[in-house]
Amino acid sequence: MFFKKAGSLLFLVILFIFSYKPAFAALTITEASPVSISSPDDIITITASASSLQNTTQYLQIGLTKEGEPSNYFGFTKNQSEEWFKYKSSPTTSDLSSYFYKFTPVGGVWFGQILAKVDIDDTGYKGAGNYIIKLIKYITSSPSYSSNSATITINISSIPTHPPTNTPTPTSSPTPTSTKTPTSSPTKSPTSTIKPTSSLVPSDNEEPPIEEIFPTSVLGESVTFTDEPAKAIPAKETKVLGSQQDAMAKILISIGLIFLIISGILAFRSFKKSKSDIEGIERIV
C-alpha cells in the first residue's frame, strides 16, 4: 500500500517537472511603419507589447543598426515629455528617469507605441540601405532587447559633418572686373525767367512779389525742378522804398496846399483892391 502511494506521488512529480514551462519576460515588436525613410525628419512608429513583466517602472529606447554590419546602434527616441533623446549605449539611472520613455506594466502586461527617428550625424549611420530596428528595455542600467526586430529601408545619403579639406580650388577662374560707377556730370543750372508782376513796388499791406522760376532746357538736356526756394525782393528794401515815396507825396501835397493858400490870399487881396478902386471911382463921379 505504501509503495503504491509513493509510486503515484513520484509520477505526479515527474509529470509536473516535464509539463512546467518557466515564464520569461518577453518584449515583442508587432509593427514598424513606415518601412521606407527618405528624410531625417520622417518619424518611425513602432508598435510593441510585453508580458510576464514586473509591475514596476520600466524604460525603453530604440536602436538602429545597418544590416550586414557589426551592431552599432544609434537613433532618436521620443519620450512622454515630447522630447527627442539620443541613443545611449550605457545609460545611468539618472538618464533613465530623466530622458527615457517610461511605462509601468499592469498585471505584468504592457502594450504601446514608441516614436523614433534616424540620426544621420551619428557614426552608426552608414548611408542609404536596410537597417534593423530593435527595442531595448531597462529596469536598471542592464539592457534587455526585444525578442524580435523589424527591418526598414533608409534612402538618405550620408551627410558629412565637415567639408573635405582637400577640395581643389580652380586656378583659372577669371577675376570679375569691377563695374565702373558712372560719374555724375556737373549739374547745369536751369535758366530762369522772372514772371512780371503788376506792380514793381508793393504797398504796405501787400506781400512782396516772389520770383517764379520756370526751368527751361539747356543744350537739349532735360532739366528737373529744384527744391530751392525762389528768390524774393527783400521786404526791408520794399518797405524803405515805399516809405520814401510816401514822404515825397506828403511833401508835394503840402507844397500844393501852401500854393493854394497863397493863391487864395493873393486872389482875395486883388479882389478887395479892385472893389476899393470901383468904389472910389463911383464917389468921384
> In CATH, which of 3.30.70.980, 3.20.20.10, 1.20.58.220, 2.60.40.2550 is domain 24-154?
2.60.40.2550
Beta strand 84-86 pairing with 110-117? unpaired
Q: Which residue has the cell 482875395?
A: 268
What type of residue is 249?
Answer: A
Grid cell in block for residue 169? 580650388
- Contact between residue 133 and residue 62 where contact means Cβ atoms under 8 Å apart: yes
- Greatest distance between any 2 Cα atoms in the chain: 220
Nearest Cα neighbor of 116 from 86, 140, 88 is: 86
- Spell 45-72 as b/e; 16+ CB within 10 A means b: ebebebbebeeeebbbbbbbbbeeeeee
Q: Which residue has the cell 531625417?
A: 40
pLDDT at 282: 61
The 3-class secondary structure across 85-111, one letter per residue, is: EECCCCCCHHHHHHCCEEECCECCEEE
Question: pTM for this one?
Answer: 0.49
pLDDT at 8: 58
Query: pLDDT 10s per residue in the chain (285 long)?
Result: 545 555 555 555 455 444 433 345 689 999 999 999 999 999 999 999 999 999 999 999 999 999 999 999 999 999 999 999 999 999 999 999 999 999 999 999 999 999 999 999 999 999 999 999 999 999 988 999 999 999 999 999 765 444 444 444 444 544 555 555 555 555 454 444 444 444 444 445 445 454 444 444 444 444 454 555 545 545 555 455 556 677 787 888 888 888 889 888 888 888 888 777 776 666 664
pLDDT at 254: 84
| Residue 181: count of CB within 10 angstroms of its CB | 6
DSSP string, the chain: -HHHHHHHHHHHHHHHHHH------EEEEEEEE-SEE-STTPPEEEEEEEES--SS-EEEEEEEEETTS----B-EEE-TTS-EEE--SS--HHHHHHTSEEE--BTTBEEEEEEEE--TTSTT--SSEEEEEEEEEESSSSEEE-SS-EEEEE------SS--TT----SSPPPPPPPPPPPPPPPPPPP--PPP-S-SS--TTSPPPBPPP----BTTB------SPPPB--HHHHHHHHHHHHHHHHHHHHHHHHHHHHHHHHHHHHHHHHHHHHHHHHHH-
CA distance 208 to 119: 84
